[in-house]
Chains A and B, each alone.
Chain A
Amino acid sequence: LLAFSSCPGAGQDVGRSCILVSIAGKNVMLDCGMHMGYNDDRRFPDFSYITQNGRLTDFLDCVIISHFHLDHCGALPYFSEMVGYDGPIYMTHPTKAICPILLEDYRKITVDKKGETNFFTSQMIKDCMKKVVAVHLHQTVQVDEELEIKAYYAGHVLGAAMFQIKVGCESVVYTGDYNMTPDRHLGAAWIDKCRPDLLISESTYATTIRDSKRCRERDFLKKVHETVERGGKVLIPVFALGRAQELCILLETFWERMNLKAPIYFSTGLTEKANHYYKLFITWTNQKIRKTFVQRNMFEFKHIKAFDRAFADNPGPMVVFATPGMLHAGQSLQIFRKWAGNEKNMVIMPGYCVQGTVGHKILSGQRKLEMEGRQILEVKMQVEYMSFSAHADAKGIMQLIRQAEPRNVLLVHGEAKKMEFLKQKIEQEFHVSCYMPANGETTTIFTNPSIPVDISLGLLKREAAIGPVPDAKKPKLMHGTLLMKDNSFRLVSPEQALKELGLAEHQLRFTCRVHIQDPRKEHETVLRVYNHLKGVLKDYSVQHLPDGSITVESILIQATAHSEDQGTKVLLVSWTYQDEELGSYLTSLLKKGLPQSTS
């Protein structure tokens, strides 16, 4: 029995991911995210949902974090330090390295800038991180005696992983966010045919099949290149991690290939630290970077330098990556204001922009912006939109399902309407049941656990020797006694079972009388029966014993004359219950009567 509950977050929502899974009596929490859109209590999942009273540590066996995005790990210090959880937290090495940087940054913005109180502190982040156990890819971690987890590569961002959670023979795979198409710095998600009972998959792009990434890349490079050749400046507002690195590598290699000289800048701070980790975790990147890092680490950028505020006024072409990504504040907005007036310049928005931000306004075609202080900023620079998303599209999700071959699929992290479509597709294509619970809803999935039974080698060999050659694909009938003792199952030979249980052996014999019309003498009848049986049962040993009885294997046949009618002979057939099959066959054979003897 598997219970899945989409806990306080996630479900049909892109925002905070937080999923609770009960599998064979073990409770596991998957991800512990926060919602970026809220600034009140709603930003964190409602942990009181898990246990009304009682400590979380007692209830949860472990917490697993799939990757470092705040909507997957943002509530972790709150959960572990403020609500109180002391159990193990599992994440991959890169996630463990980068996660605290992001949390700290997030804390600074909320506490230092917005002045909020009742928020977790730096110390809490540190304490929380002490509870984290880092895992390697494909490493099976034994959480306790029964529960084990294993990480698979998920693409998406550096260190993102899919987790397989296994108790006994029941298993769940949680994908987190993943990407099935490789990009410039990360590979594609991969999983083996682990056939889990349940696959919990994200479904951000449940109804989208994306175009080839090459077109997008080419467009992007072409636009940047053209602007730089014209002598214009290019501003690319990015968030610090993930896409930024991909775009950096893209531009870096392009600059290298095309021998371009225009400078590329990267706004400093957070990103520098993060780049450092990208340099370190080379094994988590894609084939090209992994193969060439001996000559040169791709993240050691030759053309990309740190940005200084003063550079923005430098003449000549340049490309600048600046945070934040939606142009709502900070350095990117400052640079934007400086450059917006020149039509030679260009701003490229590499991702989605929330309504209300400057990014969204200019993308929707607004040319005159009202800035603070009632200033009117006229946007003359070119505005481009380039989507670089690292989630699997519908085809990717299907591909993953095909690879893993789960028995049930559960969709989370998406919009209900879109998920409905994908659900229908999955059921139609793979003939597995698919679920899409809402927030806070609990889904229960019944599994068909296979129960292992021990069998002694002697018995196995003995039974295997009987009958045709064993064939792995066909079930085989075995005789033995099933002993259920001390919470274990054993298949033993009957003799041993009797011995162990201290029981005496009883024999069960069936006897049956068959009347045959035969006027001849008894021994002649016996001889006829003997010849008949010998003719029919070629594969069995049929013997005529000196005492006038016939044995077929262990079955005994005796003939006596009927006490009343001498013309009728009575055949006594007797067999043990082990030979039931042969015995009943024999009786039915004899009941048909003997063939008219011509000899």
Chain B
Amino acid sequence: MAAHLKKRVYEEFTKVVQQQHEDLSTKKLRLTKPSKSAALHVDLCKATSPADALQYLLQFARKPVEVESVEGVVRILLEHYYKENDASVRLKIASLLGLLSKTAGFSPDCIMDDAINTLQNEKSHQVLAQLLDTLLVIGTKLPENPSVRMRLVEVACKHLTDSSHGVRNKCLQLIGCLGPVEKGVAKEAESQAAKDVQKIIGDHFNDQDPRVRTAAIKAMLQLHERGLKLQQAIYSQACKLLADDYEQVRSAAVQLIWVLSQLYPESIVPIPSSNEEIRLVDDAFGKICHMVSDGSWVVRVQAAKLLGSMQQVSSHFLEQTLDKKLMSDLRRKRTAHERAKELYSSGEFSSGRKWGDDAPKEEIDTGAVNLIESGACGAFVHGLEDEMYEVRIAAVEALCMLAQSSPSFAEKCLDFLVDMFNDEIEEVRLQSIHTMRKISHNITLREDQLDTVLAVLEDSSRDIREALHELLCCTNVSTKEGIHLALVELLKNLTKYPTDRESIWKCLKFLGSRHPTLVLPLVPELLSTHPFFDTPEPDMDDPAYIAVLVLIFNAAKSCPTMPALFSDHTFRHYAYLRDSLSHLVPPLRLPGRKLVSSPVSPSITPHEDPSQQFLHQSLERVYNLQHLDPQGIQELLEFTIRDLQRLGELQSELAGMADFTATYLQCQLLLIKALQEKLWNVAAPLYLKQNALASAAAKQILEETYKMEFMYSGVESRQVVIIHHMRLQAKALQLIVTARTTRGVEPLFGMCEKFLQEVDSFQRCFISELPHMQGSFVDKLLDLMPRLVTSKPSEVVKILQTTLRQSTFLHLPLPEQLHRATANIIEPTGESDNPLRFTSGLVVALDVDATLEHVQDPQGTVKVQVLYPDGQAQLIHPKPADFRNPGPGRHRMITQVYLSHTAWTEPCQIEVRLLLAYNSNKSKASARIPKSTWSESLEALPPSENGIEGTIPFSKPVKVYIMPKPARR
């Protein structure tokens, strides 16, 4: 009784609080809005038959209900609920109650009592289930109210004995979602009924209905997700469920076992039918492995996926998954893999000619062979051979994850992965190549394995070939024959698919730099030099020859003896390639030749990289020179910008940094230039020409700031502030210029208002950064803010002008890493003289292939622009599937652009280029500031300000020759 009273008190209390809230905010609105509940009431009273009522309810459900009228509507619905005899109408009402309680801003605890009451007399199972669902919604809406939850859980427990599976299902779901998670809650007497949620749910693991069993396991998993530590005792129960007749139960049970194995990896469980004991994680691993050969493929996928994340498993268990214990006629047989290995180690190549080459060797003890072991035996062998490719992919992924954490396992699974390169489904092949790449640091390929890997180079799918090139980039090869084999195969690939040129060169670059000692003995052969005779000079433009040279030069970088083997023309070719393909050919120290980027003494460590130093020094210089005369500042800035740009060209790793700062300085320079014009003080109308210069400067600064904000990856909030600040200055400049050129005050009002709003939002967004901006434009402006708000536009402009001039130049701190987004269109090459002919009015598909670097979220931002000679521009959004991600920070876009135009008299060139779309709304600044402040400021801001959308061209335009022919009649 006491408990009950207490509960009542609680409820009363919460109710009161709630009403206060409502009174505060919604009174006014209630008066103005027509009552929705009343209309519904009328409708429902009018209904003559259940079907009618159902129709009304269905119509009603289509319209949203305002927060303030929800409670009223609920009361009406409940009233009808009690009167209604038809179960289907009651069902609809119950579902509406749930829907209404979801209304944002509505707190459903006021209707909870009623909802629970309705349960009492309900006879229909379906309605009961629906009501429980409603309670679940109510419960989830009230997360901070443990007593309500307790009560709901109790209600659910009461209905667990219902004979309908639907009701039991919902009860379990409710318990899973709302059951108490913390141990401390179970102090009071009231919680006794719900004292052990786990036990209650666990009891339903043996329910007669498979759906309820599934729901019970799911509820258990839900509890786990909500942070309850599951008891280990459940493990044995869950194990029994693995043999369930129904796949959804087995599937859920596999998950549960996995969860438990992660919770109690080290506890010991006995092996049934023997006295031995093993670790729980090993036992669970064995059991899940067993499920990889389950009858249902859904369970198989589930099991294979989960295997990957069980990294604590003992290594001998892990290795069993790859062992199938072959035998033939009761004699142990070696697997083809073992045979291959043996042949390799005996230094012999397989003749493969003998029948019975795989003849079984030793007799095996019949008792020792366990065909289906309870352990993990051969799980992956089965998984990788599965009928469904979903299972195979899951198995490959799991292999990948396990191999990443265990080098010895990586070594073992290599053979199997290599086998997967020949899968019938391309997705699986691709996945296994990627997997191999991911574990490549753990492995060294044997020659026979390499052979199989290289065979895939002839695949007609570009993705496969490129994935394989990536793989070869980071593969360890053990012998010089291996390198030679790889080179030969890559060259074969090159002749078959010339478009792979770039990718193959890059691949050879890494292959060379990883294996200098293996390349060394091959050099004379590869360059076809002869000790006595001069050999003819190979063709410099032959891609195959370049490929060989790339391999050799990269190997020579860390192998100083190699250049001695070069012939004269090799040196000449080196000089040429170093210039033309500088990203593939490293600087070499050749005898009698200066190193290109030379005066570096080898003692300097990369940390004190001189170019980095140079960058910082020049920046320091700029920032320190505040007091120079204007002319001097301008000159210095110009020089520094020039230096930085050159530095960016020379040092690719610093390019982003240098460009970024150069752009910033450029902005500053423009601003200074615009302000330094001597004629500012003269009356406005006379100096239109000069104003044109200033407004152009303002415009350019704006553009540059957008580039700075959106084109670089790695920009931090510190930089964003500075960029925004610069933009604010540009806007101020714009305002001043407009004030000078336009007559009349009217338009200025609006502009001033807008500018002040911007200042305001700037302050709100970057409130934390303001202390670092002493003496800056915005700092001064904020001091003057009270004055600005009240003064007239002309005065505002005057103030702005003076502040702009007096403000100091902000120091731009540099982030750790900064990369400029770049794009390079590989195809179309723009070299073709053959116009692409098509009939006007129809479309022609143009393949566009481009590499993107350091673009974040390319799917959303990268667009293709096509410019026709008549000035018409077309913007194409590539599909998300057109983007591939071959490596960190790199993307590749392979898409088709559809062109069409009316007929032309002669072929003409169109321009294709890539654009980076941005939206200032989604700027990095907004992502960083705390949510609450931003949402407020969002509301305050006028909508036009929120989304300035624009595009930045970030690739060189490529010209394509096209010719739309008139249609033939």
Contact = CB atoms under 8 A, between A and B. Distances in A.
Contacts of B416: 212
A190 B388 CA distance: 13
Interface string B371-398: 1100000100100111111000000000
Interface in A163-214: 181-182, 184, 187-188, 190-193, 207-214
Contact of A258 (B207, B378, B420, B458): B458
B85 interface: no
Nearest to B390: A287
A395 B422 contact: no
Chain B interface residue number, banded? 35 or more
B385 A385 contact: no
Given A192-B295, A212-B381, A365-B355, A218 B424 contact: no
B618 to A, nearest CB: 54
Given A184-B424, A219-B352, A394-B371, A212 B460 contact: no
Nearest to A221: B422
A363 interface: yes
A287 B389 CA distance: 8
Contact of B387 (A187, A215, A218): A187
Interface string A204-238: 00011111111111110111010000000000000
Contacts of A212: 324, 335-336, 381, 384-385, 416, 419
A485 interface: no
Interface residues of A, number: 57
Interface string A384-424: 11000000001100110011000000000000001001001
A123 B315 CA distance: 66
B857 to A, nearest CB: 31
B468 to A, nearest CB: 13
B327 interface: yes
Contacts of A187: 387
A256 B386 contact: no
B385 A213 contact: yes
Contacts of A287: 387-389
Nearest to B451: A222
Contact of B371 (A184, A385, A425): A425
Contacts of A349: 355
Given A191-B295, A385-B355, A472-B208, A218 B366 contact: no
A506 interface: no
A216 B423 CA distance: 12
A137 to B, nearest CB: 15
A257 B461 contact: yes
A504 interface: no
A258 B372 contact: no
Nearest to A469: B161
A382 interface: yes
A225 B459 CA distance: 13
A233 B369 CA distance: 43
B372 A365 contact: no
B419 A223 contact: no
B329 A418 contact: yes
A491 to B, nearest CB: 20
A541 to B, nearest CB: 25
B372 A398 contact: yes
Contacts of A257: 458-461
A473 interface: yes
A219 to B, nearest CB: 7
B353 A181 contact: no
B425 interface: yes
B206 interface: yes
Contacts of B784: none
A364 interface: yes
Interface in B445-484: 452, 455, 458-461
Contacts of B385: 181-182, 212-214
A258 B324 contact: no
B352 A210 contact: no
Interface in B39-66: none
Contact of A288 (B293, B369, B389, B419): B389
Most chain B CB neighbours (cut-off 10 Å) among A214, A221, A223, A425: A214
Interface string A545-578: 0000000000000000000000000000000000
B459 A395 contact: no
A184 B423 CA distance: 10
Contacts of B873: none
Interface in B168-220: 206-208
Interface in B278-311: 293, 295
A207 B458 contact: no
A395 B460 CA distance: 36
B457 to A, nearest CB: 9
A382 B353 contact: yes
A214 B420 contact: yes
B335 A215 contact: yes
B276 interface: no
Interface string B319-358: 0000011111110010111000000000000001111111
Contacts of B354: 365
Nearest to B337: A215
B394 to A, nearest CB: 14
Contacts of B458: 257-259
Given A215-B335, A394-B371, A395-B371, A190 B326 contact: no
* B378, B387, B388 pick with most chain A CB within 10 angstroms: B387
23 contacts: A193-B245, A208-B328, A209-B324, A209-B327, A212-B419, A214-B385, A214-B422, A214-B423, A215-B335, A217-B422, A219-B336, A223-B352, A286-B387, A384-B353, A385-B356, A394-B371, A395-B324, A395-B371, A418-B329, A418-B330, A429-B370, A469-B161, A472-B208
Given A218-B419, A469-B161, 13 more contacts: A182-B387, A184-B424, A190-B295, A191-B295, A192-B295, A209-B324, A214-B420, A258-B458, A349-B355, A402-B293, A402-B372, A425-B369, A429-B370
